[in-house]
C-alpha cells in the first residue's frame, strides 16, 4: 500500500516540530541543572535516567505497536511530550528531576530517540518502495536535523531574556513550557493522520524470521550508543562550558552549525549508499568522524576544537538514514516496528550507562577523556559492523548486483 504524499508531509512536519524542541532542550537542560546547583556528576545521572527511560518506553511501544493503531500511539507519545515540558520546571530535587527525565521525552542527545521514532519509521517504511526507502529516511533525517539546528539557536533565549530583566530560572522554565507547547502541535498533526496498523503489511508478528539478524545488529548498535553516550549533546555542551567557559549563546550558534552540517550530510549519505552500499557508507564515513573527535579532545585552542567538532558533525550522522534504512530492509514488513524498537532500545540502554561515567570523567584533571573514549569505541564498532555485515545486502543492493552490466 503506497503511503500518500500528504501523510509523508505530516510525518516530516511532526519530525520537524519535535526536532525544534529536542534542539534547545539538549542545551537548556545542562544549563538549567547547573543553575539550580547540580555538578557534572549529578547532571550525568539525570542524562542517564533520561536515556534509560527512553529505552524502556521505546521497547514497550515497539512490542505493542503490531497490535495497535499507529496514529493512537503517536498521539499518546505527543501527550507525554507535553507533560514532560510541564513537569520539568516543577522540581529541583535530583530524585524528582531524575524521575521526570526517566518517564519523559526530553532527548539529551542529538540522535533521534524516543517512543515516537519506531512508530514514524514503521509508517514511512510501510508505504515506500525499496528503491525509495533510503531517500525517504534521508529526507526524514534531514528535516529532523535542520529543525534541531534551528532549536539550538532558540537555546540562546534565556540569555536574551536575562538581558531585559527576566530572572534566569524563570527564563529556563519558559523554555520547558515552550517544549510542552510543541508537544501539543505534534498532537494536532498526528490527529490528521489516517488510522493505520502494521498488520496491513502482513501477518502480525513482533519478531520472527529476522530475529537473529536484528539481535546481532542490536548488539553492535549498543556498542555504538554506549560510545556515543560519552558525548551526548548535553554533555558535550557541558564540556564546552567547563573547558572553554563558552556562553550559552555561543554554544547555541555552534550547535546550530553543527546540526546544519549533519542535516545536509543525510542526502549525501543516501547518494553514497546507492553507489557504495548501506554498510560501507555507514562505516567509511563514521571512522573519520571519530578521528576528528579524538583530535578535538586533545586540542587546547577553542577555534581548533570547534573546527574539529564541526568536521565531525559533517560525517558522524551519515549512518543515521542508512542505518534506519538497512534495518527496515533486512526484516519483513510486519516486523518493522518491533525491529526498529529492538535495535533502538539497546542503543538507549547502552547510552544510558556512559553519561554517568562521562560526568565523573569531566571532573578529572583531563576532562577530554569522554571524547577520547567515545572516538576509540566507535572505531571498534565500525570495524565490527563491517566484518559482520559486509555480505548482507539490502534488496535493492542485491537487485543492482544481479542486474546485467
Q: Rounded to whole angstroms, how far apart are CA atoms 12 and 24?
A: 19
Instruction: Give the model's pLDDT for residue 368.
Output: 92
- Residue of 30, 188, 164, 131 lying closest to 400 (CA atoms): 131
CB 238 within 8 Å of CB 29? no
Instruction: Give the model's pLDDT for residue 402.
Output: 55
Instruction: Give the model's pLDDT for residue 324.
Output: 83
Question: Which of 151-160, 180-189, 212-221, 348-357 tops mean pLDDT?
Answer: 180-189
Q: Does 205 score more than 60 pLDDT? A: no
Instruction: Give the model's pLDDT for residue 295.
Output: 97
Q: Does 112 score more than 70 pLDDT? A: no
pTM of the predicted model, to two decimals? 0.70
Instruction: Write out pLDDT tens, residues 378-390.
Output: 999 999 999 999 8
Q: Does 307 score more than 90 pLDDT? A: yes
Least confident piece of the model among 18-27, 32-41, 205-214, 240-249: 205-214
Instruction: Give the model's pLDDT for residue 202.
Output: 47
**How sure is the predictor about 157, in pLDDT bands with cuts at 50, 70 and 90?**
very high
Instruction: Write out pLDDT tens, residues 252-276.
Output: 899 889 988 988 888 898 889 888 9
Burial of 396 (0-12, 13-18, 19+ CB in 10 A): buried
Three-class HEC string of 360-398:
HHCCCCCCCHHHHHHHHHHHHHHHHHHHHHCCCCCHHHH
**How sure is the predictor about 404, in pLDDT bands with cuts at 50, 70 and 90?**
low
Q: Does 111 score more than 90 pLDDT? A: no
% of the chain at pLDDT higher than 90: 38
Q: Does 50 score more than 90 pLDDT? A: no
More confident residue, 81 or 233: 81
**How sure is the predictor about 191, in pLDDT bands with cuts at 50, 70 and 90?**
very high
CB 258 within 8 Å of CB 309? yes
Q: Does 75 score more than 90 pLDDT? A: yes
Q: Does 170 score more than 90 pLDDT? A: yes
Q: The cell 549563546 sits on which residue?
A: 249
Q: Give the single-character DSSP code of 68.
A: S
Q: Rounded to whole angstroms, how far apart are CA atoms 204 and 16?
A: 30
Instruction: Write out pLDDT tens, residues 100-109.
Output: 999 988 877 6
Instruction: Give the model's pLDDT for residue 206.
Output: 59
Q: Does 376 score more than 80 pLDDT? A: yes
Average predicted confidence (pLDDT) for the chain: 86
Instruction: Write out pLDDT tens, residues 308-329.
Output: 999 999 999 888 888 888 888 8
**How sure is the predictor about 129, in pLDDT bands with cuts at 50, 70 and 90?**
confident
**How sure is the predictor about 201, in pLDDT bands with cuts at 50, 70 and 90?**
very low
* Mean local confidence (pLDDT), 222-249: 89
Instruction: Give the model's pLDDT for residue 178.
Output: 96
- HSE value, Cβ hemisphere, 13 Å, CA-based, for 116: 29
Q: Rounded to whole angstroms, how far apart are CA atoms 327 and 70?
A: 19
C-alpha cell, 88: 520539568
**How sure is the predictor about 127, in pLDDT bands with cuts at 50, 70 and 90?**
low
* Mean local confidence (pLDDT), 231-240: 88
Q: Does 2 score more than 70 pLDDT? A: no
Full set of structural domains in the chain with CATH: 5-195+206-393 (1.20.1250.20)
Instruction: Give the model's pLDDT for residue 4.
Output: 58
More confident residue, 153 or 398: 153
Burial of 137 (0-12, 13-18, 19+ CB in 10 A): buried
Angle of helix 369-389 relative to helix 233-244, nearest 10 degrees, comes to 150
Amino acid at each position: 500500500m503506497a503511503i500518500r504524499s500528504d501523510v509523508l508531509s505530516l510525518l516530516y512536519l511532526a519530525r520537524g516540530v519535535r526536532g525544534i524542541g529536542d534542539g534547545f532542550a539538549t542545551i537548556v537542560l545542562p544549563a538549567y541543572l547547573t543553575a539550580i546547583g547540580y555538578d557534572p556528576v549529578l547532571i550525568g545521572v539525570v542524562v542517564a535516567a533520561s536515556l534509560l527511560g527512553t529505552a524502556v518506553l521505546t521497547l514497550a511501544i515497539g512490542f505493542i505497536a503490531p497490535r495497535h493503531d499507529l496514529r493512537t500511539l503517536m498521539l499518546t507519545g505527543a501527550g507525554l511530550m507535553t507533560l514532560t515540558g510541564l513537569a520539568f520546571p516543577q522540581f529541583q530535587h535530583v530524585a524528582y528531576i531524575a524521575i521526570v527525565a526517566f518517564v519523559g521525552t526530553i532527548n539529551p542527545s542529538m540522535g533521534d530517540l524516543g517512543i515516537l521514532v519506531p512508530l514514524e519509521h514503521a509508517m514511512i517504511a510501510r508505504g515506500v518502495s525499496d528503491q525509495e526507502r533510503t531517500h525517504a529516511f534521508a529526507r526524514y533525517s534531514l528535516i529532523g536535523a535542520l529543525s534541531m539546528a534551528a532549536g539550538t539557536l532558540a537555546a540562546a533565549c534565556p540569555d536574551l531574556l536575562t538581558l531585559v530583566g527576566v530572572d534566569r530560572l524563570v527564563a529556563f522554565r519558559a523554555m520547558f513550557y515552550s517544549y510542552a507547547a510543541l508537544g501539543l502541535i505534534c498532537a494536532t498533526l498526528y490527529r490528521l493522520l489516517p488510522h493505520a496498523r502494521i498488520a496491513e503489511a502482513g501477518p502480525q508478528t513482533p519478531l520472527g524470521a529476522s530475529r537473529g539478524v536484528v539481535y546481532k545488529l542490536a548488539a553492535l548498535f549498543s556498542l555504538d550508543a554506549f560510545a556515543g553516550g560519552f558525548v551526548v549533546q548535553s554533555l558535550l555542551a557541558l564540556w564546552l562550558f567547563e573547558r572553554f567557559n563558552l556562553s550559552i549563546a555561543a554554544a547555541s550558534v555552534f550547535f546550530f552549525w553543527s546540526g546544519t552540517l549533519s542535516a545536509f550530510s543525510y542526502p549525501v549519505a543516501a547518494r553514497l549508499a546507492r553507489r557504495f552500499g548501506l554498510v560501507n557508507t555507514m562505516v567509511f564515513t563514521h571512522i573519520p568522524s571519530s578521528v576528528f573527535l579524538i583530535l578535538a579532545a586533545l586540542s587546547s585552542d577553542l577555534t581548533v576544537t570547534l573546527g574539529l567538532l564541526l568536521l565531525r558533525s559533517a560525517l558522524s550522522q551519515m549512518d543515521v538514514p542508512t542505518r534506519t534504512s538497512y534495518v527496515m530492509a533486512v526484516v519483513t514488513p510486519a516486523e518493522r516496528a518491533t525491529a526498529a524498537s529492538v535495535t533502538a532500545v539497546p542503543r538507549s540502554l547502552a547510552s544510558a550507562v556512559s553519561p554517568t561515567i562521562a560526568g565523573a570523567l569531566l571532573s578529572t584533571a583531563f576532562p577530554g577523556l569522554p571524547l577520547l573514549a567515545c572516538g576509540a569505541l566507535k572505531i571498534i564498532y565500525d570495524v565490527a559492523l563491517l566484518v559482520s555485515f559486509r555480505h548482507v545486502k539490502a534488496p535493492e543492493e542485491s537487485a543492482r548486483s544481479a542486474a546485467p552490466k
